[in-house]
Structure 1
Amino acid sequence: MQKNPNQCKFVVAMDSIVGKWKPIILYHLLQGKPLRFNELRRLLPDITQRMLTLHLRELEEEEIVKRVIYPQIPPKVEYSISEYGKSLSPVLEILHQWGAAHIERKKLGEAKK
């Protein structure tokens, strides 16, 4: 059975940005200000430390997120969106708009019941 090359590209793209928390992490980092780990934890109160670490590592491996370690005591680490990661901004904005429209559609559907 032959694989559809377009489907493979879609799967690669989705694997890079999909996860319960990745789009939200990216949303916060796309605001432009570098954030420290604990700042991200405060912005995502329901995420576990382990899951945040895992998602940040995956996004860093994909070169979507940049991690900068400042040589000081105690060590300071900041996360920011990479130039490459900024190319996801229109994609995430469209998903955000679709999500808002979907919520409204569901509300209208529930009101009709």
Structure 2
Amino acid sequence: MISVLLVEDDIINQKMASRFLVKCGMEVTVASDGSEAIDLIKGKKYNLVLMDLQMPDMDGCEATSRIRALDDPYYKTVPILAFSASEDVQDKLSLFGMNDFVSKPLRADEMQKLNQYIA
């Protein structure tokens, strides 16, 4: 089963995205901020990370940079996609090590993009 780490601080967005991904046959683990995401990813190798950009304590860009700096090749290659309602951030995502962008809320047409990273 494909495992997804969903990093999102908003409870409503957590529930909506989780339900959508589970309906698509994926196993979802939720982290509420960047620090929790780093702790979780150190304990499990996920197939995909959906990373919110604006979160308290540690934002998604900082969390992604820290994940990419961890000492294992997996952390350099695991697909991390920005998960945001704001599309104007796409230009800077690669600077922090993000692979791509998906918009909130997740829609069926976004699945094609997710599938290219988990296939």
TM range (shorter): under 0.3
Q: Which has the greater radius of gyration? A: 1
TM-score, normalised by the number of residues in structure 1: 0.27
Higher-strand-fraction structure: 2
TM-score, normalised by the number of residues in structure 2: 0.26
